[in-house]
Amino acid sequence: MRVKTRESFLKYILAIDQGTTGTKTLLVDKNLRVVSESSFEFPQHFPKPGWVEHDCNEIWESVLRSIKKTTNGYSPSDIQAIGITNQRETLCFWNKETGEPISRAIVWQDRRTADICAELKNKGAEPFFQERTGLLLDPYFSGTKATWAFQNWPEVQAAYSEGYLAAGTIDSYLIARLAGGGVHVTEPSNASRTLCFDIHRCAWNSELCQTLAVPEDIWPEVLPSTGIFAKVEGVEGIMNGTPITGVLGDQQSALLGQACIEVGTAKCTYGTGSFLLLNTGANPIQSRHRLLSTIAWARSLDNVTYALEGSAFIAGAAVQWLRDGLEFVKDSREIEALANKETNTDGVVFVPALTGLGAPYWNPDARGLITGITRGTNRAHIARAVLEGIALQNADLLTAMKKDLGKPIKQLKVDGGAATNNLLMQFQADMLGVDLYRPKITQTTSLGAVFAAGLGCGIWTDLAEVQKSWQEDARFSPKISAGDKDAKLKAWARAVKMANLA
């Protein structure tokens, strides 16, 4: 995998990919070869049903450990720039001077603000939010998490009253920690996920903040997605003064990493959740089918690229649940072999609504279910049904997206951990009715951070150079019969209806 580079690029880019369950770092050379990488998981905290929290210090420790291991054997001066990509809507609170956390982070999967969202909807506020932010009123997004924290966490209220509160998404928190405190910045792809950011003006909006009862001045300064954000101080393995030059939310980063830079190009990432994004260019599309309009990236605050997005909250997390919760397998990679022991699910359908349903349903009260179980049902049937459930929810997303666009999507690029599962990818192609293209480098979220950092420090000058780098590894074309596909979709629709009634 190769792109044209400047002769002066003799060093490495360090990509920090901070995800929902762990942190991964990659050291990448001038030819986009990963010369070193490592990853560390961190604990998930579930204080109450439907609540999901992260300890910000545990996240930071995972970042430090991963950087230390990845850079071992390399001189700190070898790193030219740093790119960050991150889980998006997770909301952190920290001391703006020291970078030390004030509370746990409220994770994007957390559903504690469902009542706040319902109250705002009952007041007729959702159209206003959708028009300004491109989002819907759902606990998924950061804004109502901030509302809840100000109502329920005295430490957050006190920090604000005493003037040292900083709030923001994971990117903003990591930049502050990497810089040794005193820096409070973000960029548009992350800011656009807060419910407080006007995606048309590319700026925080006081009326949105007031509606949520959230002080506008808790939010970071917004900088372009590419350029200098801060310089590192006091991090082992990185030389002081090394610049952070590219930052993107994880799904937008994967869109860039998949070289979806032209209008109409799309990708689906299979991570903790699954996320389908379509590049819509310089103009946001307001969905008529409960999808999201979001900022993909901004080369400057008046040069913004938008995307249409559909998100399913649970994808890879369903396999993790099979592994850890039900102990079906010891390693997530075993799921494909187990599922292949049967040629079908024998009527079993799994709806992955373990934390509610995302687009196009947006029902935080939906609950996961397994239906169609008989005396003959075995572990392989359920494993296969879990993989099929991941794919079937994406079929709902693409159907809604095609309706918004008014035309079909002919191909879809796929990435993320579960994209290496050939059984899942083939079934996904069958249910979507389009060709799926998997790249040679499936770590496209991390690769997007590399591209953003490289654009930010001048290694690459334009997005066309990014596009030249993409290479195909495998293609999956639909093979299922029309009758079998229709039966699968009807069984899925019945199961989803039951999940929505839970």
The C-alpha atoms of residue 337 and residue 328 are separated, in whole angstroms, by 12
Return the beta strands (E) in 142-265 as ranges. Answer: 165-169, 185-186, 197-198, 203-204, 221-222, 226-231, 243-249
Q: Which residues neighbour 324 within 8 Å (Cβ) at sequence distance 6 or greater?
A: none
pLDDT given for residue 232 in this prediction: 96
Task: State yes or no: pLDDT of 438 exceeds 90.
Answer: yes
pLDDT given for residue 3 in this prediction: 42
Higher-confidence position of 431 and 501: 431
The C-alpha atoms of residue 91 and residue 142 are separated, in whole angstroms, by 6
Quick one: what percent of the chain has pLDDT higher than 70? 98
The C-alpha atoms of residue 471 and residue 11 are separated, in whole angstroms, by 23
CB 231 within 8 A of CB 249: no
Which of 47-56, 184-193, 264-273 is least confident? 264-273
The C-alpha atoms of residue 192 and residue 292 are separated, in whole angstroms, by 11
Buried/exposed 6-22: b ≥16 CB within 10 Å, e otherwise: eeebebbbbbbbbbbbe
The pLDDT tens digits of the residues spanning 328-355 come to: 888 888 999 999 999 999 999 999 999 8
Closest by Cα among 94, 82, 255, 257 to 172: 94
pLDDT given for residue 10 in this prediction: 53
The pLDDT tens digits of the residues spanning 138-191 come to: 898 999 999 999 999 999 999 999 999 999 999 999 999 999 988 999 999 999
Task: State yes or no: pLDDT of 466 exceeds 90.
Answer: no
3-state SS class at 368: coil
Which of 7-21, 83-97, 142-156, 262-276 is least confident? 7-21
Closest by Cα among 433, 436, 432 to 419: 436
- Phi then psi for residue 26, to 5 deg, are -130, 140
The C-alpha atoms of residue 155 and residue 369 are separated, in whole angstroms, by 38
The pLDDT tens digits of the residues spanning 201-227 come to: 999 999 999 999 999 999 999 999 999
Say if residue 220 is preceded by a cis peptide, omega within 30 of 0: no
pLDDT given for residue 502 in this prediction: 62
The C-alpha atoms of residue 92 and residue 293 are separated, in whole angstroms, by 23
The C-alpha atoms of residue 43 and residue 257 are separated, in whole angstroms, by 28
CB 437 within 8 A of CB 425: no
Task: State yes or no: pLDDT of 470 exceeds 50.
Answer: yes
pLDDT given for residue 1 in this prediction: 40
The C-alpha atoms of residue 134 and residue 210 are separated, in whole angstroms, by 18
248: tokens are 């993107």
Say if residue 49 is preceded by a cis peptide, omega within 30 of 0: no
- Sign of the CA dihedral with 222 first, then 226, 231, and 237 last: positive
Quick one: what percent of the chain has pLDDT higher than 90? 72
pLDDT given for residue 267 in this prediction: 93
**Run of H or E residues at 127:** helix 126-133
* 54 half-sphere exposure, CB direction, 13 A CA radius: 30
Residue 71 pLDDT grade (very low, low, confident, very high; cuts 50, 70, 90):
very high
Which of 8-17, 182-191, 384-393, 480-489 is least confident? 8-17
The C-alpha atoms of residue 92 and residue 101 are separated, in whole angstroms, by 8
Angle at 191 between CA 71 and CA 274, to 5 degrees: 70
Task: State yes or no: pLDDT of 481 exceeds 70.
Answer: yes
Residue 402 pLDDT grade (very low, low, confident, very high; cuts 50, 70, 90):
confident
Which of 15-19, 223-227, 436-440, 465-469 is least confident? 465-469
pLDDT given for residue 9 in this prediction: 42
pLDDT average, residue stretch 88-117: 94
Other Cβ atoms closer than 10 A to 170: 31
The C-alpha atoms of residue 233 and residue 220 are separated, in whole angstroms, by 20
3-state SS class at 160: helix
Q: Which residue has tokens 């923001």?
A: 168
CB 20 within 8 A of CB 87: yes
The pLDDT tens digits of the residues spanning 92-101 come to: 999 998 889 9
pLDDT average, residue stretch 62-90: 94
- Looking at the chain, how many residues does it have? 502
- Sign of the CA dihedral with 158 first, then 160, 165, and 170 last: positive
- As a whole number, the mean pLDDT across the chain is 91
The C-alpha atoms of residue 285 and residue 406 are separated, in whole angstroms, by 12
Pairing mode of beta strands 79-86, 12-18: parallel
Q: Which residue has tokens 């190769």?
A: 2
pLDDT average, residue stretch 256-260: 91
Residue 311 pLDDT grade (very low, low, confident, very high; cuts 50, 70, 90):
confident
Q: What is the DSSP string of 324-339?
A: HTS-S-SSGGGHHHHH
